[in-house]
Amino acid sequence: MSKNQINFQEKFTKITEQWTPRVIAQMNDNQFKIARIQGEFVWHKHEETDEVFIIIEGTMNLELRDRTVNLQEGEMYVVPKGVEHKPVAENECKILMIETQGTTNTGNVGGDRTQENDIWV
């Protein structure tokens, strides 16, 4: 495999825990992170950056304070900076997130779901 070629399924085999985003690529200051998710995350927001969610496999509801966005495999949604959101997946869902390097996964709330940044797979 080329140094720049990335296979999502191969990368997902290296992640076993839920809600542990891992970096698979970086372009300028933006990181591409994958994660396995299931259940509910925490309400949070990112004051300084937008966040992109792309569904690789499964489905996810992205709860916003005024509505819920249902995302299917092959769809994406951009959460604007400063907008509170909470990802929820009834069954395991594999996602790709694009966000600025150094963005904390729990945004402004911290807590036990906060993961270390810049862990590559």
Residue 74 corresponds to which amino acid? G
| 113 domain residue, yes or no | no
Residue 1: DSSP 8-state: -
pLDDT per position as a tens digit, 53-111: 999 999 999 999 999 999 999 999 999 999 999 999 999 999 999 999 999 999 989 89
- The CATH number of the domain holding residue 27 is 2.60.120.10
| 74 domain residue, yes or no | yes
pLDDT at residue 1 in the model: 45
pLDDT per position as a tens digit, 28-43: 999 999 999 999 999 9
pLDDT at residue 4 in the model: 82
Say how far apart CA 78 and CA 98 lie, in whole Å: 9
What is the pLDDT confidence band of residue 2, given thresholds at 50, 70 and 90?
low
| 112 domain residue, yes or no | no
| 115 domain residue, yes or no | no
Range of the domain at 21: 8-100
| 110 domain residue, yes or no | no
Structurally, the chain folds into a number of domains equal to 1
Q: Quick one: how far is CA 49 from the chain centroid?
A: 13
